[in-house]
Structure 1
């Protein structure tokens, strides 16, 4: 189905809000063999919206709209749809009752302005919104299906799943597609591409895409037949095995947790320059309490000494940002927490605090695994504090994953 996604809102076009709705919708369509031909972000301008929607109804078989269904003056989607379909707004009693019930559930009085959310274009099918106050709308022409959904992501996702996708499933002609995501860490996109290119053709029906993020590259394989993907995956795994850590929804921190749980090992962390971001990553995985004992932020020198047992003389001789301190931090967190695995970091995140000897971006990571302590040095450069912190966390996770995988 030829498809366009239209996201409406000044907050999107001004860059203050990321257009996450369009991303989610596109992914939701993929199992039905649909890839959007176009994704638009438009301001809350009635004239522009009317032009684009009229054009979309002629060019596409499926039009998905999000945003602009609220009760305020800048919510202009409904008035535009009324003009485009040459109809009028009528009050729907069932919708009004649902809107009132939503406010009653919250225990607050409903503002009079919200009654307008029960005003819907005559001729449109109402898509009941059990998760908010703005109902979705469905219009059908001889050649096109148009769905208008709320801009609130939680409401949009639920309405899309409950009301829109079942309609699309009935009409989709392309059929379901097979897809797999092979996830790698510690190798660049170019190097990975070169290794895979040397394998030769992987399948006529296969679509392959590289999706790089900081320190990681995902390889997305898409085909109409799952057998095509299996054959390609078998070939690709021969060259990506050293960097491969999981597939589809796996994350490095989840795989780390799986290994720790399987091996019955306990982990603890001591962070300085990252301010707890590593432990936040580890504990983002459900069930982390089964293997993660604690994460401490020993930011000051005194905290490193009192909490972790780092020797004062070590800091006097080598400084807080040093391989010696990182090593003692990792050993210290193992000793004080009783963990089997301890990981630490200390560095100069920036933008200030660097010296000629210890510039901004210098980071030391310590890892103590079953009593054996190691340290690695990294020089991330002056790319900003947040980026240096993120790089440090990624390096900690990468190294920890590698060491645990080798057990």
Structure 2
């Protein structure tokens, strides 16, 4: 069976700058891959008529499906439909029903209908408008020169609504492809290169399976995909067997998810004492619904006074060893556990950077995990900027608790 290919075009001059990142294409790719559609190209183009026309023209000539995000609004630099209509040699027609819906939307909000918003009701001839549940501008589904063109808004929640409620069903019905099955596995505290070198020894290709490695400061994710579900499941077990100690779960999760699940499962509680991470550890775990079942609270003891007066870290310990030391981390973890009467305590103290502190280098971090029975303290020398050091610190803290107390 001939493979079906797609290209995603992200539209907007802001995406070519240094502050705005295209996240829509990741969401679209995930859903297309589930349908067995291969995303062959991703293009980012600014709000320029000729550039946009060239991007669509190139895409139409090399893939089966072209999906764009952005450029469907009412402003002068929103001309995606106009460019596509010109390329496909069709006219734009006013859809009276869409226009009425737009006017009603403004009326309900008590706002006079702007004349320029009328252009959102212009639909290319023979195209199917895609309803926009959470927003105003409809999407477009169009057949052009034997290719499928789908125009979506750039607003993530609107784009996601259209993908999940219209696009997937329409593409599935049209192409009737055998759907790929994927499994995502997450690993902590291991370099991407080690995983990659090991996976090269497994015969994925001969068994119709592809794999991808996505590495970040907080985890390494391995994704296996194939059309045979049983094969993918079989090979996922092979992958995990290679790294059993650092595997912490399936799906799109991070260490805090896995640790929270283990705490709840074992009916245990935890409290945090943070210095260089400034409450980030507590933020990550409380981002998860239900975290109150296991997380009792935390102290951000950024200053030496807070460590001494709130956490009861002995002043002599800080004078002798410094605030950034194994000894201080030891007391932070133990005393926050006692303060909250939790089963476990975590203490983090370090130099986030960019400059050194107490004549200690940026990136030096001590993390302690404590229970009534024992306390484990680890020393780390992280690389990177301030945010990178803090990210790595939180992940290693969760992993230390998982490995030493929850396995």
Residues 33 and 39, structure 2, Cα contact 8 Å, conserved in 1: no
Aligned residue in 1 for 2:14:
11
Alignment of 1:93-242 (within 5 A): 93-141=96-144, 143-198=146-201, 203-214=206-217, 216-242=219-245
Alignment of 1:8-407 (within 5 A): 8-141=11-144, 143-198=146-201, 203-214=206-217, 216-356=219-359, 358-381=360-383, 383-406=384-407
**1:58-88 Cα distance to aligned partner (Å, 9 max, x none):** 4332111111001111112122123223333
Offset of residue 142 of structure 1: 5.4
Residues 218 and 254, structure 2, Cα contact 8 Å, conserved in 1: no
Offset of residue 257 of structure 1: 0.7
**1:150-190 Cα distance to aligned partner (Å, 9 max, x none):** 11111011011111111100122531011111211122222
Residues 260 and 266, structure 1, Cα contact 8 Å, conserved in 2: yes
Q: Secondary structure at the match of 1:37?
A: strand
Q: Secondary structure at the match of 1:389?
A: helix
Alpha-carbon distance in 2 for matches of 1:159, 1:399 = 42
Alpha-carbon distance in 2 for matches of 1:199, 1:127 = 44
What value does the CA root-mean-square deviation take over the aligned residues?
2.0
Residues 310 and 328, structure 1, Cα contact 8 Å, conserved in 2: yes
Alpha-carbon distance in 2 for matches of 1:303, 1:8 = 49
TM-score, L = length of structure 2: 0.93
Alpha-carbon distance in 2 for matches of 1:7, 1:159 = 16
- Range moving further from structure 2, 240-249 or 99-108: 99-108
Alpha-carbon distance in 2 for matches of 1:220, 1:199 = 14
- Range moving further from structure 2, 189-198 or 329-338: 189-198
Residues 256 and 404, structure 1, Cα contact 8 Å, conserved in 2: no
Q: Secondary structure at the match of 1:308?
A: coil
- Closer, same or farther: CA 104–373 of 1 in aligned 2, 3 Å: farther
Alpha-carbon distance in 1 for matches of 2:74, 2:20 = 20
- Closer, same or farther: CA 107–256 of 1 in aligned 2, 3 Å: farther
- Closer, same or farther: CA 201–114 of 1 in aligned 2, 3 Å: closer
Alpha-carbon distance in 1 for matches of 2:203, 2:71 = 49
- Range moving further from structure 2, 32-41 or 200-209: 200-209
TM-score, L = length of structure 1: 0.93
Offset of residue 47 of structure 1: 1.6
Residues 202 and 232, structure 1, Cα contact 8 Å, conserved in 2: no
Alpha-carbon distance in 2 for matches of 1:306, 1:354 = 21
Q: How many residues align?
A: 404
**1:14-41 Cα distance to aligned partner (Å, 9 max, x none):** 2432111111111110111111121111
Alpha-carbon distance in 2 for matches of 1:200, 1:94 = 55
